[in-house]
């Protein structure tokens, strides 16, 4: 399965192939600030499953920390994805892939939430242990 997506103006086009490794919501301040919303819906992919199909000349990167390389369109500013080199994963924002059947499985960084969500999904204080977090679940 291939999912096509792109930036706000359509100048940058991407394709994600296969299925994401995980999907969920991030509540950290950094993701909230970057996304402009109270929560960020993510889909994590192996980097080789995500490719640029058009507009690579417009692709820009902002790196606030070694954990994240945020990618966006330099023409319209539309957010596309975040590479996470230490994790070996690429977060393609769920809204970037309109045909992806978004099925979240977890909330991460829920200790920082500004929008409590009662959906029955696991709520992790920070990140899973395999990503360097505590793996600690907190109540809804």
pTM over 0.75: yes
User: For the chain, which residues score pLDDT lower than 70?
Assistant: none
DSSP-assigned beta bridge partners for residue 70:
62, 82
> Quick one: pLDDT at residue 131?
86
Res 31: pLDDT:
92
**pLDDT value at residue 5:** 97
65: tokens are 């920390």
> Bridge-partner residues for 44, per DSSP?
22, 91
Nearest residue to 49 (alpha-carbon basis) of 14, 23, 84? 14
């Amino acid at each position: 399965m291939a999912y096509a997506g792109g930036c706000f103006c359509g100048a940058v086009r991407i394709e994600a192939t296969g299925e994401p490794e995980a999907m969920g919501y991030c509540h950290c301040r950094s993701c909230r600030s970057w996304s402009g919303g109270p929560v960020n819906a993510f889909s994590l992919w192996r980097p080789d499953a995500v490719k640029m199909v058009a507009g690579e000349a417009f692709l820009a990167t902002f790196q606030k920390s070694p954990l994240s390389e945020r990618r966006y369109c330099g023409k319209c500013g539309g957010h596309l994805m975040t590479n996470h080199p230490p994790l070996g994963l690429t977060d393609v924002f769920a809204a970037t892939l309109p045909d992806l059947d978004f099925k979240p499985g977890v909330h991460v960084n829920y200790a920082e939430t500004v929008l409590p969500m009662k959906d029955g999904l696991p709520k992790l204080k920070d990140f899973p242990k395999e990503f360097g977090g505590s793996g600690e679940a907190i109540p809804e």
